[in-house]
Amino acid sequence: MSKMLLKAKEFLVSEEGATATEYAVMLALIIIVSIVAITLLGNKVNNTFQNIATRLPNS
């Protein structure tokens, strides 16, 4: 019984899985920030091109 409790304690104290979880959270945050930045930048670029297109003379 004592051996089983010792293994359970080692499992709970172990930090091997923590780094994988931390990397997953950081990756998720980077992806979210990238999507938001691309969306905002994409809208601004689209508006700029629309303004240029309306100012060009029709041929």
Render pLDDT for 39-58 as a digit per residue (tens, 0 to 9): 989 989 999 999 999 998 87
Structure tokens at 23: 């990397």
- CA-CA distances (angstroms) from residue 37 to 24, 28, 34? 20, 14, 5
Render pLDDT for 4-48 as a digit per residue (tens, 0 to 9): 888 777 776 766 666 777 888 999 999 999 999 999 899 899 999
Query: What are the sequence ranges of the domains in the chain?
Result: 16-59
